Chains A and B, each alone.
Chain A
Amino acid sequence: MPISIVVPQLGESVAEGTVSKWLKAQGDKVRKEEPLVEIQTDKINVEIPSPGDGILERILVAEGTTVLVGTEIAVLSGAGEPAAPAPSLAAAPAVASAAAPPSQPARAGAPAVASPALRPAPSTGDGSSGNGELQVGDGRSLSPAVRRIMREQNVSLAELAAIRGSGVAGRVTRDDLLEYLQSRTAAPARASAAAAVAPPAPAAPPPAFLAPRLAPAAAGPREEVVPFSKVRKLIAENMVRAKHTAAHTHCFDETDMSAIVGLKREWGPKLEAQGVRLTYMPFFIKASVLALKEFPWVNGEVRGDTMVVKKFYNIGMAVGRDEKGLIVPNLKDCDRKNLVQIAAEVNDLAARARADRLKPDEIQGGTFSITNAGVYGAINSSPVINVPEVAILGVHKIVERPVIRDGQIVARPMMNASIGFDHRVVDGELAVKFLRRVCELLERPELLWFHA
């Protein structure tokens, strides 16, 4: 009789634990009460003893993986028993592979990828056919580890296509697949059983009042439990730390972007021809650097009971990366670079941020940050400070709005700007003056020329 090893209850507030170390290897003999595995939660590491004598038949959860309390992490076979050929995961039905049946249960919330687009369609579900580099129809390639698991667990390409990948370019990673397999064990069994039964002969249509009011529910579970990725954990920690330590306060201003819009319109195509795409960000960076030089206190860091004023200008820019999570790389020494150099660096940093190719020092050592919620359509925001920095500039969508100029109502490309500042060290007066100066420099970029 195989014994299932699960993460035990570790306390009322303990919902999950991380497998920190397997003390036995797959295939090892273990005695009852012998230490089997260590689970860590918070700063406490617990040795889990074996519940019986036997052989550690199969390790289901790798070291470093965080799982919910109650999750099965290993299977122990009874002493002297023949090895169970297909415990646990493998008990899932072998889902027909080649031509994905139309009844293929899609994972709730997953994008509906059309199965005919899949290529190639191996007849065995074996992902290792062909030249080794296997791709799902939408171009997502598969790692050897994923292919191996697909082979072992009889995962068809059609099933794989329905998994939302968390890897680069939506690639399905080993962890994605393992998580999918955990949720698959039950659902497809029922689904395929139902599919096998011939549909009942159509009866007379029911009276209208018996007709279901709701559209049929999508196949699969109604909720999806997605463990935090490492990046998400860090983001969550940083955000909470920022909100806990800095006395967040915000104020808002607006700026007439006519001049910058004009400059971008004129210079955009010229720079494009030289291979540099010009966005608004370089202008925001330039304006911020000059304003920071005039208000040095804003370009600083709180360290214990001291304020450290920085004489260099490493400007961070928030880069959204969909489900991969926000990251804020910074451009070094922006005061010593011209607009074109900054534009080229902005493009390079953003591209590498999205491709997970940033170097560690590019996400450390920032002195001030800018976040552009306008790219997603926001016309205003109150951003969270990238601590230990003391302020962050929010820039937004540029919208044509009626404004008064010389007593006349005219349409102008207007943008709201916001500043989030740490009120422990930055007074409201300073924050308002700084923000006004940034807006002014954007309204009259010639000031950059006179003052920079």
Chain B
Amino acid sequence: MILSACHLGPTPYREALALQEGLVSARASGTTGDWLLYPDHSPVLTIGRGGNPESLIADAATLKGRGIELFEVARGGDVTWHGPGQLVGYLIADLSRHGRDLHRFLRDLEQSLIDALAAFGVAGERVAGRTGVWVEGEKIASIGVAVRRWVSYHGFALNVAPDLGFFDLIHPCGLRGIHMTSLARRLEEKAPTLAEARERVAVAVAAAMGYEGLAWKDPAQARRLAEEAAGESGPRAEAHAG
């Protein structure tokens, strides 16, 4: 099977969510294959089902003041931040192809990111019990996945060159005293651009997750498929601030 990858360009979080849900329906009913979507999000905070109100440091007023929306979503994990400089990847994949093994799926996803980092000369690693990718004790990529009808959505966020100050608004993933890092911080001027990272990660995902190839698609095609499949399942997230 070929993995379809697609750079969506600037996409409001709510819209990305609806697009994913549409594609999940399409994937579950077999009208399309697996997709890797790359949205460009404005700063947004999302809280997963492992969420804990204490993981949020900033109050609603601060968030509103800085124009940051807060979404509660059905993915696993606690709170995280998405925004410019970060490579956000949503993987719409049929888990039946991955033995319907949730933990294996997470480990494969981690492996993809570790492989991509290795290509840039950064040694990413796993930390047992703390899903994500770490570099010398600092977190460089977060993972949070949702599954509906054995099709995955949501995915990962790799810090390429974001303003890491945004993570001070939260305890990322509910972990205290955690330090975030980025490719820019590790590699300084040798760090890849977002476009280079996007390309490299897509190749790594396709390889580590057992796809036969990778094909870049027009975002319009993904949007059309999602709209056709949307039907009864509207967006399930609610905005809480902003």
Chain A residues engaging chain B, CB cutoff 8 angstroms:
9-14, 18, 20-21, 35, 38, 40-47, 49, 237, 240-241, 244-245, 303-305, 364, 388
Contact of B76 among A40, A304, A388 (CB under 8 A): A40
Whether the Cβ atoms of A42 and B49 lie closer than 8 Å is no
A20-B50, A40-B50, A304-B137 as given contacts; A46 in contact with B102, CB under 8 Å: yes
Minimum CB–CB distance for A48 against chain B, Å:
10
- Cα separation A318 to B100 with both chains bound (whole Å): 43
Residues of A near B101 (CB, < 8 A) are: 10-14
Q: How far is the CB of B236 from chain A (nearest CB, A)?
A: 9
Inter-chain contact B149/A47, CB cutoff 8 Å: yes
CA distance in complex: A14, B99 (Å): 12
User: With the chains together, A364 CA to B99 CA distance in Å?
Assistant: 42
Q: Is the CB of A42 within 8 A of B76?
A: yes
Assuming the A-B contacts A38-B74, A43-B145, are A11 and B50 also in contact, with contact meaning beta carbons closer than 8 angstroms in the complex?
no
Give B150's nearest chain A residue, CB to CB.
Answer: A46
The answer to whether B136 and A44 touch across the interface, beta carbons within 8 angstroms, is no
A225 CB → nearest B CB, Å: 20
B183 → chain A closest CB, angstroms: 15
Stretch touching chain A among B31-39, B103-111, B200-208: B103-111
Q: Which residues of A contact B129 (CB under 8 A)?
A: 237, 240
Q: Is B163 an interface residue (CB 8 A)?
A: no
Assess whether B49 is in contact with A14, with CB atoms less than 8 Å apart.
no
List of A residues within 8 angstroms of B49 by Cβ: 20-21, 38, 40, 45
Closest A residue to B147 by beta carbon equals A46
CB atoms of A43 and B138 under 8 A apart: no
Show 28 residue pairs from A and B whose CB-CB distance is below 8 angstroms, ordered by the A residue: A10-B103, A11-B99, A11-B104, A13-B101, A38-B49, A38-B74, A40-B49, A41-B76, A41-B102, A42-B76, A42-B103, A42-B131, A44-B76, A44-B102, A44-B144, A44-B146, A45-B48, A45-B147, A46-B146, A46-B148, A47-B146, A47-B147, A49-B149, A237-B129, A303-B179, A304-B138, A304-B181, A364-B176
Any A CB within 8 A of the CB of B177: yes
Q: Which of B76-108 contact A (CB under 8 A)?
A: 76-77, 99-106
B198 lies within 8 A of chain A by Cβ = no
The CA of A40 and the CA of B103, in the complex, are separated in Å by 11
Say whether A44 contacts B149, CB under 8 Å: no
Contacts of A244 in B (CB 8 A): 127-128
Chain A hits for B152, CB < 8 A: 44
CB neighbours of B173 from chain A (8 A) = 43
Is the beta-carbon distance between B176 and A43 smaller than 8 angstroms? no
B181 contact set on A, CB distance < 8 A: 304
Q: A46-B146, A388-B177 are in contact. List 15 more A-B contacts (CB 8 A).
A: A9-B100, A10-B101, A10-B102, A38-B74, A41-B103, A42-B76, A42-B131, A43-B76, A43-B143, A44-B146, A45-B145, A49-B149, A237-B130, A304-B137, A364-B176
> Which partner residue on chain B sits nearest A388 by CB separation?
B177
B residues near A47, Cβ cutoff 8 Å: 74, 146-149
Taking CB atoms, residues of chain A closer than 8 Å to B106 are 42-44
Indicate with 1 or 0, residue by residue over B173-198, a CB within 8 angstroms of chain A CB atoms: 10011010100000000000000000
In this complex, which of A42, A44, A304 has the most chain B Cβ atoms within 10 angstroms of its Cβ?
A44
Instruction: Find the B residue at minimum CB distance from A15.
Output: B103
Residue among B102, B103, B129 facing the most chain A CB atoms (10 A cut-off): B102
B100 A11 Cβ-Cβ under 8 A: yes
Most chain A CB atoms below 10 A, which of B49, B143, B147? B49
Docked CA distance A9–B102 (Å): 10
Residues of B within 8 A of A (CB): 48-50, 74-77, 99-106, 127-132, 136-138, 143-149, 152, 173, 176-177, 179, 181
Is the beta-carbon distance between B179 and A43 smaller than 8 angstroms? Answer: no
Q: In the complex, are the beta carbons of B76 and A245 less than 8 A apart?
A: no
Residues B74 and A21 in contact, CB atoms below 8 Å apart? yes
| Contact residues in B for A49 (Cβ distance below 8 Å) | 149
Closest residue of chain A to B107 (Cβ to Cβ) is A13
A305: B residues at CB distance < 8 A: 136
Report the 10 A-B pairs with minimum CB-CB distance, sorted nearest first. Answer: A11-B101, A20-B49, A45-B76, A43-B131, A46-B147, A43-B76, A44-B145, A43-B77, A44-B76, A47-B148
| Bound-complex Cα distance A14 to B137 (A) | 26
Question: In the docked arrangement, what's the CA distance between A392 and B143, Å?
Answer: 34
Give the chain A neighbours of B132 by CB distance below 8 A.
43
Q: Which residue of B lies closest to A17 (CB)?
A: B102
Closest to A364 in B: B176
CA–CA, A13 to B106, complex, Å?
12
> What residues on B are CB-neighbors of A14 within 8 Å?
101-103
* Residues of chain B with a CB closer than 8 A to A364's CB: 176
Contact flag A35-B103 (CB < 8 Å), given A20-B49, A45-B49, A305-B136: no
- Docked CA distance A305–B77 (Å): 28
Task: Let me know if A10 and B100 touch, CB within 8 A.
Answer: yes
What is the bound-complex CA distance between A47 and B150, given in angstroms? 8
Name the distance in Å between A308's Cβ and chain B's nearest Cβ: 12
Q: Give bound CA distance, A303 to B57, whole Å.
A: 21
Q: Is the pair A45, B100 in contact by a Cβ cutoff of 8 Å?
A: no
- Give the complex CA separation of A43 and B102 in angstroms: 9
Residue of B with least CB distance to A21: B49
Contact across chains for B137 and A45 when beta carbons are under 8 A apart: no
Complex Cα spacing A46 to B100, Å: 11
Contacts A14-B101, A20-B50, A304-B137 given; indicate if A45 touches B146 (C-beta within 8 A).
Answer: yes
Which residue of chain A is the closest to B48 with respect to CB atoms?
Answer: A45
- Chain A residues with Cβ below 8 Å from B130 are 237
Q: Given the complex of chains A and B, what is the CA–CA distance between A270 and B48 in angstroms?
A: 56
Interchain CB contact under 8 A, B144 and A43: yes
Per the bound structure, the CA–CA distance linking A237 and B130 in Å amounts to 9
Residues of A within 8 A of B144 (CB): 43-45
Q: Which residue on chain A has the smallest CB distance to residue B77?
A: A43
Contacts of B50 in A (CB 8 A): 18, 20, 40, 43, 45
Residue of B nearest to A302 (CB): B137
Cα of A304 to Cα of B49 in the assembled complex, Å: 29
Q: Which residues of A contact B75 (CB under 8 A)?
A: 43-45
Whether B104 and A13, one on each chain, are in contact in the complex, defined by CB atoms closer than 8 angstroms, is: yes
Cα distance, A250 to B45, chains bound together (Å) = 43
**Nearest neighbor of B146 in chain A, beta-carbon distance:** A45
Query: How far is B5's CA from A431's CA once the two chains are assembled, in angstroms?
Result: 54
Contacts of A43 in B (CB 8 A): 48, 50, 75-77, 106, 131-132, 143-145, 173
